[in-house]
Every structure is written in C-alpha cells, then in structure tokens.
C-alpha cells in the first residue's frame, strides 16, 4: 500500500526548511575543539557570523518538526558562550566590543556590524530559551547584550558613515532594549532614545524614490561612486528597520514609519527579476563581486519582502520573496555552503566568504512563518504573450526604470554618479538586464569588464591616456595590496600574486584605453514614454569622459517582448563606431547607424 503524498503545506515547509538545515550543518561542521566556527578562507572566527548560527539554531528548533531540538539548543548555547568570551573592553574606554571586529583586518567586518548581530543573537537566546538556560549562562548572555548596546551601539548607530551599518547596529540596540526594560529602566530609556533617533536619521538619508545611497557624501564617502545605490545593500536598511521597530514595540506600518518603509520595499521589489535574481549592475560597490549579479544579499531581501507582505498584504512582495528564496537555495553547493553566484565565463570569486553568507541566512530563518504565508499566494502562470499589459516603474533618484509586458522584464538606467573600477555602477546609459518571463532566460548577457558588450555602441577615440587611467585607479591599485594579503592568508598564492596586476589592468589601463562605449557615459537624458523609455546617451571613455558622440536609444514593449530602436545622433571623432547586436535578438533590421531589434 503506497503512502499518502505529503500535503502542499508540508511540501512548502520542507522546501523552506531543507536549505536552511544544510547551511547550518555546513556552518557548524567548521567548529574546532573549542567550539569556534573558523573560517577556512580568512582563518579567523567571524564572531558576528557565529551570532547568525545561534539564530539559525533557535529558529529551526522552533519551526522544524524534524529537528533534534536538544542538539540545536546545545549548539546555540555553545556559540552564545563564544560571543561572551569575545566581548572585550576597548583599552581604558568604557566601550565593550565583540572581537575580532575591526581589530583583525582578516575578519573583513567591523564592530558595529558584528556587535549588532551579537547583541541581537544573545538577546534572542535569553528570550527564546528562558529558564531552559543555566542561570549563569542566562545572566552572562543578557549582560553582554546590554553592556555592548549601552557602551557602544547607542553611539555607533548615530555616527557610522554607511546607512546599512547603522541599521545593523540598530538591530542589536533594539533587541538589547527588550532585555534592559525588564530591570534597568534608565538604560532602557537611553537605548530607546538612541534607537529612535537612528531610525529618523536613516529615513532622512533615503532618496525620495525609496532607494538608499550606499555611502552618502554627507556621511563621509571618499568617492562619489560610493554614493550610488546598491542592489546588494538596499534591503539591509529596510529589513533591519522592520525588525528593530518591531523589537521596539512600534508599528512599522504606523503613520510615522509607513512611507519610507513602503518606498524601500517598492524599490527592492522592482530589482527582483522573474528568476528571483536582482539587477546586480545597480551597484555602488562592484569590487565585492566576481559576477554581474549576486544572491548573497537574498537573506536580507527575503526577510524584508516577506515581512513587508505580512504587514501590507501586497502579493507582489510575496511573489518576490519566494522567488528570491528559491534563487538563493538553488545556489547552495553540494555541501550546503552558500555561493554568491554560479561559475561562468569571465566570472571570479567574490571578496566575501561562504561563512559570511551562511551567517546571514539567519534572516531567512526569521522569515519562515511569513514565507509560508507568501507561498500560499501562488503566482499566476506566465502569459503566452500578445496582451499589452505594460508595467513601467520609474525611480528618478536612481535614474532607473523597470519595464515589462507579458513576455519580458527589462531594467534601463540613465544617468549615474561618477565611477571607477571599485566604486559606482559599472554600466549605464541603456539596458542593464532583460529576462524572459516564461522560463527566466537571460536575454542580454553581461560581462564584468568586456570591451564590446552586447546591445551597446562601441568605438575608439583619442589616444591612450595614462594620466586618465592613473587618476581613476591609483587608489584601487594601492588597495590591491590588501586583496593580495587576504588571498595569501587564505593559501591562494596564485591569486595573491595576480591581484596587483589584475587591478592594474582593470582599474588603470582599462580607464586609460581609447575604447569608448554607450555603457560608459554617466550623463544620459531619460524621457518616459507611455510604453517605454527614450534615452539620449553620450559615448564616453571608461570612467565617463565624453567624446562628443551621442546616440538615441528607444526601448518599448508591445505585449510580446522588448522592441529596441537605436540611432546615431552625432558620431563626433569616434573611430570604428559600431553597434553589437545581442545574440538573442530577433526581427533585426535597419542600417549600421539606425539598427532595430526585438528581445522576446
């Protein structure tokens, strides 16, 4: 007699739980004899990511019917003791921080990120386990959480230069407040006051279109490209605000907070494609990544989107959350270690490590209940096309348009801040990404630094300009020494030796080259049409130096795909000006100066 098939609800729960089990098992397998989770790449205990292991254990103990709860609780307590052991006073300062933080450069983190995660995780240990904890452990965990919050986090959330870092610190501050309010009213008032002030400052730095600058100039960014928006960091601020406000017993959808949070969610959801992958070329910090996309940020995306759905009932957020989760799960390797992207031509390893990404999975675990609710709102099947249902969303501060019909989704960017190889989005002035809805196929592949990108105008102008290249990449060439040190410590001797030469090629010589492209211009003019977008784009050297040539680019949808019309307005002094037709293009026509085609 055959067994009855599992209910749809059980099947969904298993789909959500299985990847998180695998990630936690991989992470805990890295423990040494002292219980430290040691990173095989950076050869350090990333204490802030060990905090993530605590939360993973606690959430799986709560939600997983197959879990060995005793083993998960034991692992969580073990890592809690590791966090407490790493809480150290900063010299003669009253400040206490969790080591290694900023003290070991190979930790690749800082004290506010690690501290926010640690205070948060320790507070959850106390609240979730309560009397199950040994009295000494319970007191130590609570003391460490509150001590760090009141001596460090309440100041750091107000003066760090990067919004996402302030927001991460805010999670620990809010969680510690929940402990302090029980028996230390004065400390609780101090923590609450700092937390609400930090919320206001984060909302104040948000753009009107919902996007956030990665590192705003007014908060100390050294390069204007760092002030660009970031697909990787966008969800952190929104996710952490949602979490912290809940921990502070504030209604995130109340009149005071609702507007900024909804705008942040709308921008995030617009980045997510039908395949669950975000448009990664909108990125203020491209040096972090070895491909033109990443899924390492998906745990934060999923928490923000799923929580947003739970609070608003917007089905679009539910669909985006589930697609993001599935894309992330599909990138886990055979052992359960997370990957930022899949291998492919022209791709390389990313800077961050799998231990970071595994620790961040705690935010997906926190979203499990909301994700199950998202799965109960299935998406309609893809249309066969032919119905002109135009979706056009414009984010003017980011100069970004999401354009879609029944067949495709396309992302189009106009102007963007100045950039170099490390800071600011590397591609603009046209199509960033085009995805077919029915099968998630990528219709416009992008490479990281290719000379002749598909769907772009290219040519040559002037002569090689070493000074232009040096100005663009001198600082990054010096930074390559640090990248070499990290690779050397990881035992990657070849990568360490290649790092300075790779940076010289990508960050200096490429910017000195004579090549010009429509993808390199930074000052495109953008005009919205009823069914699309018209751009006037300057051709420029890499870095944005314009050469007097301009092209008109029109992108429209008609229900069966994206129709593109290109036209040269002025050739300037560009030599060998040509347009490279996308490999997936159909219905192509026109001449060398006015091509047209379709992506469907």
DSSP 230-259: -TTTHHHHHHHHHHHHHHTT--TTSTTTHH
pLDDT score of 452:
80
Is the distance from CB of 300 to CB of 239 less than 8 angstroms? yes
Closest CA to 465 of 424, 500, 508, 504: 508
Please check whether residue 375 lies inside any domain of the structure: no
| Phi then psi dihedrals of residue 531, to 5 deg | -125, 20
Please check whether residue 303 lies inside any domain of the structure: no
Do 481 and 458 reside in the same domain of the chain? Answer: no
- What is the per-residue pLDDT across 117-167, written as a single tens digit (0 to 9) for each? 999 999 999 999 999 999 999 999 999 999 999 999 999 999 999 999 999
Average pLDDT value for residue range 34-44? 96
Domain end call among 204, 237, 270: 270
Instruction: For residue 233, give the CATH number of its domain.
Output: 1.50.10.10
- Cβ atoms < 10 Å from Cβ of 39: 21
Do 446 and 470 reside in the same domain of the chain? Answer: no
Do 77 and 219 reside in the same domain of the chain? Answer: yes
pTM: 0.96
Do 581 and 470 reside in the same domain of the chain? Answer: no
Do 412 and 557 reside in the same domain of the chain? Answer: yes
Please check whether residue 275 lies inside any domain of the structure: no
pLDDT score of 384:
61
Please check whether residue 113 lies inside any domain of the structure: yes
Please check whether residue 187 lies inside any domain of the structure: yes
pLDDT of residue 2 exceeding 90:
no
pLDDT score of 8:
84
Average pLDDT value for residue range 296-321? 98
pLDDT of residue 112 exceeding 60:
yes
Average pLDDT taken over every residue of the chain: 95
Is the distance from CB of 135 to CB of 115 less than 8 angstroms? no
pLDDT of residue 390 exceeding 80:
no
Beta strands in 493-600, from DSSP E residues, in sequence order: 515-517, 525-529, 532-541, 546-557, 562-570, 575-579, 586-589, 596-599
Do 530 and 554 reside in the same domain of the chain? Answer: yes
Domain end call among 270, 294, 322: 270
- What is the per-residue pLDDT across 467-496, written as a single tens digit (0 to 9) for each? 999 999 999 999 999 889 888 888 889 989
Where does 184-233 have alpha helices with state H? 185-205
Do 427 and 486 reside in the same domain of the chain? Answer: no
Please check whether residue 311 lies inside any domain of the structure: no
pLDDT score of 5:
57
Do 105 and 194 reside in the same domain of the chain? Answer: yes
Do 140 and 207 reside in the same domain of the chain? Answer: yes
**Number of folded domains in the chain?**
3
Domain end call among 204, 235, 270: 270
Please check whether residue 19 lies inside any domain of the structure: yes
DSSP, collapsed to helix, strand or coil, labels residue 599 as: strand
User: Which is higher by pLDDT, 489 or 18?
Assistant: 18
Do 214 and 172 reside in the same domain of the chain? Answer: yes
Average pLDDT value for residue range 281-288? 96
Question: From CA 600, how far away is CA 593, in angstroms rounded?
Answer: 23
Share of the chain above pLDDT 70, in %: 97
In sequence order, what are the residues at sequence separation of 6 or more whose Cβ sits closer than 8 angstroms to the Cβ of residue 195?
A: 154, 157, 170, 173, 174, 177, 244, 248
Question: From CA 391, how far away is CA 127, in angstroms rounded?
Answer: 45
Share of the chain above pLDDT 90, in %: 92
- Cβ atoms < 10 Å from Cβ of 75: 23
In sequence order, what are the residues at sequence separation of 6 or more whose Cβ sits closer than 8 angstroms to the Cβ of residue 600?
A: 385, 407, 408, 436, 443, 560, 561, 562, 586
Do 252 and 396 reside in the same domain of the chain? Answer: no
Peptide bond between residue 259 and the one before it cis (omega within 30 degrees of 0): no
Task: Give residue 450's pLDDT band: very low, low, confident or very high (50, 70, 90).
Answer: low
Do 51 and 122 reside in the same domain of the chain? Answer: yes
Strands 596-599 and 586-589: antiparallel
pLDDT score of 1:
44
Please check whether residue 282 lies inside any domain of the structure: no
Q: Which helix (H) or strand (E) holds 459?
A: strand 457-460
For residue 537, what are the β-bridge partners?
551
Residue 91 is given by DSSP the state: T
pLDDT of residue 501 exceeding 50:
yes
Q: Which domain holds residue 475?
A: 466-513
Where does 272-333 have alpha helices with state H? 298-312, 315-330
The b-or-e profile of 44-55 (16+ CB within 10 A means b, else e) is: bbbbbbbbbbbb
- What is the per-residue pLDDT across 540-551, written as a single tens digit (0 to 9) for each? 999 999 999 999
């Amino acid at each position: 007699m055959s067994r009855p098939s599992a209910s749809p609800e059980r099947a969904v729960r298993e789909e959500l739980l299985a990847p998180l089990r695998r990630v936690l098992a991989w992470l805990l397998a890295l423990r040494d004899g002292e219980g430290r989770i040691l990173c095989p790449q950076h050869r350090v205990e990333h204490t802030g990511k060990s905090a993530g292991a605590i939360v993973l254990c606690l959430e799986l103990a709560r939600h997983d019917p197959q879990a060995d709860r005793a083993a998960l609780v034991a692992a969580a307590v073990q890592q809690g003791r590791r966090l407490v052991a790493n809480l150290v006073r900063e010299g003669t300062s009253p400040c206490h921080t969790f080591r290694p933080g900023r003290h070991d450069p190979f930790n690749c983190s800082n004290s506010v990120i690690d501290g926010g995660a640690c205070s948060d995780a320790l507070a959850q240990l106390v609240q979730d386990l309560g009397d199950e904890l040994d009295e000494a452990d319970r007191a130590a965990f609570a003391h460490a959480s509150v001590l760090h919050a009141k001596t460090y986090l309440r100041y750091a959330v107000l003066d760090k230069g990067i919004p996402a870092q302030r927001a991460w610190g805010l999670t620990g501050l809010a969680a510690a407040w929940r402990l302090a309010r029980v028996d230390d009213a004065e400390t609780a008032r101090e923590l609450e006051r700092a937390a609400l002030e930090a919320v206001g400052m984060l909302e104040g730095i948000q753009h009107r279109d919902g996007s956030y600058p990665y590192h705003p100039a007014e908060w100390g960014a050294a390069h204007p490209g760092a002030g660009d928006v970031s697909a990787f960091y966008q969800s952190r601020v929104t996710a952490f605000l949602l979490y912290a406000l809940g921990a502070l017993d504030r209604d995130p959808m109340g009149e005071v907070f609702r507007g900024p949070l909804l705008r942040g969610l709308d921008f995030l959801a617009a980045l997510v494609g039908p395949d669950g992958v975000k448009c990664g070329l909108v990125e203020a910090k491209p040096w972090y990544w070895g491909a033109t996309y990443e899924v390492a940020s998906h745990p934060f995306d999923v928490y923000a989107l799923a929580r947003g759905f739970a609070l608003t009932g917007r089905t679009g957020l539910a669909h985006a959350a589930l697609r993001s989760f599935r894309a992330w799960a599909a990138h886990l390797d055979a052992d359960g270690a997370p990957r930022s992207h899949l291998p492919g031509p022209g791709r390389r390893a990313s800077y961050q490590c799998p231990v970071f990404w595994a620790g961040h999975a705690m935010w997906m675990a926190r979203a499990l209940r909301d994700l199950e609710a998202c799965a109960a709102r299935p998406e309609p099947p893809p249309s066969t096309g032919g119905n002109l249902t135009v979706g056009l969303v414009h984010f003017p501060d980011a100069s970004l348009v999401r354009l879609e019909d029944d067949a495709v989704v396309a992302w189009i960017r106009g102007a963007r801040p100045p950039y170099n190889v490390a800071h600011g989005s590397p591609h603009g002035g046209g199509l960033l990404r085009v995805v077919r809805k029915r099968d998630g196929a990528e219709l416009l592949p992008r490479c990281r630094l290719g000379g002749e990108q598909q769907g772009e105008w290219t040519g040559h102008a002037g002569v090689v300009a070493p000074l232009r290249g040096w100005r663009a990449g001198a600082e990054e060439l010096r930074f390559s020494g640090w990248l070499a040190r990290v690779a050397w410590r990881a035992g990657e001797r070849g990568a360490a030796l290649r790092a300075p030469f790779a940076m010289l090629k990508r960050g200096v010589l490429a910017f000195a080259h004579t090549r010009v492209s429509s993808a390199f211009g930074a000052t495109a003019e953008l005009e919205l049409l009823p069914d699309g977008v018209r751009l006037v784009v300057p051709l420029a050297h890499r870095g944005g130096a314009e050469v007097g040539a301009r092209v008109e680019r029109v992108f429209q949808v008609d229900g069966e795909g994206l129709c593109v019309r290109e036209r040269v307005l002025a050739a300037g002094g560009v030599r060998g000006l040509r347009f490279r037709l996308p490999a997936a293009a159909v219905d192509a026509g026109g001449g060398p100066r006015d091509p047209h085609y379709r992506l469907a």
